[in-house]
Amino acid sequence: MKPFAVISDVHGNLEALRAVLTVIDGLGIEDVYSLGDVVGYGPDPAACMELCHDRCCVLLAGNHEEAVLHPERSRLNGPAREALQRTWDQLQSQGLVPQLQGWPTYHQVGSQLMVHASVEGGAHGYLTERDRSGMSTFDRVAGFIEENFVGYRICYVGHNHTPFLATTAGFIHPHEERMAFFAGSERFYVSVGSVGQPRDGDARACFVTYSGDEVRFVRVAYEWAATAAKIRRLGLPEVLAERLAKGR
């Protein structure tokens, strides 16, 4: 299988997106799949949409794209809802809102399935290691993989902004000493992390590559301060600027 890259949750962060695509191009990877949430939160949703349209072979719709198209159904709250109007205004002024209507909610390439958030929850469910009460979700996730990963072997998701693998043996976190994982015949839930708003304590953008027998996580430093400055100039919620430096 041809190597490909999977990105997710760009969230209008043009500096992060450009840095990630530069690395992907340097790796000689042609096929790039976006799992959704190209827009939302960040200051450059229109530019990110246009760049992803040019560079990605598939663009999935995330919950933020859904919120732009159907604000009355939006489940967003807090800073996300405050940023939604600014996102809509920018996309509408450049005639980009109708483009979102054609974005699919899932895509499959051979044994590889791609969705925005989870197989169970579409654009809204979360793949997490703990539930709201703090209890481990491992038994439920492992059971779901065993019973439902039929017709596909690896499923890529975004939405939670945190990179990790969910397997039938446990949750596995990439780190500097180990960023690549042998796929073989294993069944994996691959949480690819976020390009534009990481939340795992690492401010660097994150994406994954697949080469036929290996899933690799890649971290990319970018000029987050430039993005934060744009957020402040636009009058978007301060937390959206602050979190970029912390990766939280």
Q: CA 124, CA 74: separation in Å to the nearest integer?
A: 11
Q: Which residue shows structure tokens 């925005």?
A: 116
Helix boundaries (H) for 2-136: 14-26, 45-55, 63-69, 79-93
Question: Residue 229 has what DSSP assignment?
Answer: H
Label residue 131 by pLDDT band (50, 70, 90).
low
| Tokens standing for residue 242 | 């602050």
pTM over 0.85: yes
What would the mean pLDDT of 201-226 be, rounded to a whole number? 96
Backbone angles phi, psi at 180, to 5 degrees: -115, 145
| Tokens standing for residue 118 | 């989870």
Mean of all residue pLDDT scores within the chain? 92
Reference 57, options 15, 119, 103; nearest CA is: 103
Reference 122, options 81, 57, 75, 174; nearest CA is: 75
Res 133 pLDDT > 80:
no
At 177-197, the pLDDT tens digits run: 899 998 888 888 999 999 999
Reference 96, options 43, 46, 62; nearest CA is: 46
Q: How crowded is the C-beta side of 223, counted as CA atoms within 13 Å?
A: 7
Label residue 7 by pLDDT band (50, 70, 90).
very high
Looking at residue 76, what is its pLDDT? 84
Q: CA 189, CA 22: separation in Å to the nearest integer?
A: 26
Res 129 pLDDT > 80:
no
